[in-house]
Amino acid sequence: MRLSDFAYELPEELIAKYPIEKRDHSKLMVINRKDASIQHKRFYDLPDFLNPGDLLIVNETMVYPARLWAIKDRTEAKVEVFLLRELENNLWEVMVKPARKVRIGNKLTVAEGVQCDVIDNTVSGGRVVRFNNISQQDLYALIDKIGQSPLPPYIDRDPTPVDKIKYQTIYAKRRGAVAAPTAGLHFTKDLIDKIKAKGVKIRPVVLHIGLGTFRPVTVEDLSRHRMDSEYYEVSAETAIAINETKARRKRVIAVGTSVVRALETVTVSGFQVSPRKGWTDKFIHPPYDFKMVDVLITNFHQSKSTLIMQVAAFASLDLVLKAYKEATKKKYRFFSYGDAMVIL
């Protein structure tokens, strides 16, 4: 398939710029792959489509407020420092803006008494910096205090303190993502309790989502596109739960495309998974034979993105484009703070 196959038109006003007040009151489109039917519900109706014995897999990665502002030495220029990932204690890969003003050897002051040295360039146009005069834990605390939420570019507004709460799942535990696993933003504690009460087990994986999730595909031939690597973990407890669920012929339900990438990465043979951690650059697009995932919960994604490609691999491109057209007609809210779909 070609890049242009995954294009669709979206009115600007349907891009969700702000989170909904009640997480589980977002719209939920229910898509059935067997008969290509579409229903319109609310996210709090999700338990109606789950069965006892199903296994819900969530991504417990935690978004940190990755956008910092710094003052460059000598020129006093203001520079944005976007933290991508920690390479080791106080050594970080970052993106800087404006990049042309930041060179190896520069010192950037992010807070009183706290500087970072620019020590290297990266192949993707970023920088490697080392923070000085601060411990790792104190640096984390400083980032949490002064950093801004790393909202996606299409939200196109300044972050607010509310985003630090709303652009985070309620079950986030493992710090490391610069983008939220947005399908999980719709869950509330009450909804999770209702899901468990129905006899559905919930188990976590980790996949720390990076900026690559927003990186545009620039080649028409999809076989030439390379995904950014992202760190993942699938624990022994989660692997056992998945294998037991499959053995009982029950469903594994992925909350979000990041969970899909993690689960499909750890498939070892047939329909078995093993506990594993590492880095994945798995690119899922049509045609693809899913080994682990039976049901997918996801948001509505950007035109020509790797995310809509993964969804199209799961549900067929024709059905996905039909659903997106229906969502546009029904005024669904799109992207990170937008509405959701469940594909059965």
For residue 114, the cross-strand partners are 111
Same domain for 228 and 323?
yes
Q: What percent of the chain has pLDDT over 90?
A: 90
Same domain for 141 and 172?
no
d(CA 19, CA 166): 7
Judge whether 49 lies within some domain. Answer: yes
End-to-end CA distance of the chain: 24
Same domain for 290 and 199?
yes
Judge whether 159 lies within some domain. Answer: no
Count of C-beta atoms within a 10 Å radius of residue 287: 8
Decide which of 147, 180, 212 is a domain's last residue: 147
List the 252-255 sheet strands across, edge first.
37-42, 27-32, 340-343, 295-299, 252-255, 55-59, 201-207, 230-234, 276-280
Decide which of 147, 176, 195 is a domain's last residue: 147
Secondary structure letter of residue 46 according to DSSP: G
Query: How many Å is the Cα radius of gyration of the chain?
Result: 21
d(CA 166, CA 107): 33
Whole domain around residue 73: which residue ranges?
67-147
Q: Is the pLDDT of residue 275 over 90?
A: yes
Q: What is the pTM of this model?
A: 0.94
Same domain for 51 and 17?
yes
Q: Is the pLDDT of residue 271 over 80?
A: no
Confidence of residue 269 (pLDDT cuts 50, 70, 90): low
Confidence of residue 110 (pLDDT cuts 50, 70, 90): very high
Judge whether 146 and 68 are in contact, CB under 8 Å: yes
CATH number at residue 138: 2.40.10.240
Judge whether 302 and 19 are in contact, CB under 8 Å: no
d(CA 234, CA 169): 18
Judge whether 158 lies within some domain. Answer: no
Q: What is the pLDDT of residues 8-54, one digit of tens each?
A: 999 999 999 999 999 999 999 999 999 999 999 999 999 999 999 99
Judge whether 156 lies within some domain. Answer: no
Same domain for 326 and 201?
yes
Average pLDDT of the chain to the nearest whole number: 95
Tokens read off for 179: 């983008």
Same domain for 280 and 177?
yes
Same domain for 279 and 136?
no
CATH number at residue 180: 3.40.1780.10
Number of domains in the chain: 2
Judge whether 169 and 187 are in contact, CB under 8 Å: yes
Same domain for 309 and 322?
yes
d(CA 79, CA 115): 13
Rounded average pLDDT over 59-64:
97
Judge whether 170 and 83 are in contact, CB under 8 Å: no
Structural element, H or E, at residue 309 = helix 306-315
d(CA 337, CA 341): 13
Judge whether 155 lies within some domain. Answer: no
Same domain for 235 and 329?
yes
Exposure string over 187-202, b if 16+ CB within 10 A, otherwise e: beeebbebbeeeebbb
Q: Is the pLDDT of residue 268 over 90?
A: no
Same domain for 137 and 175?
no
Same domain for 111 and 50?
no
d(CA 268, CA 283): 17
Judge whether 273 lies within some domain. Answer: yes
Strand 127-132, strand 91-97: pairing: antiparallel
Judge whether 8 lies within some domain. Answer: yes
d(CA 6, CA 10): 13
Beta strands in the chain, from DSSP E residues, in sequence order:
27-32, 37-42, 55-59, 61-63, 67-72, 78-88, 91-97, 107-111, 114-121, 127-132, 174-177, 201-207, 230-234, 252-255, 267-269, 272-273, 276-280, 295-299, 340-343
pLDDT of residue 270: 66
Same domain for 45 and 74?
no
Judge whether 93 lies within some domain. Answer: yes
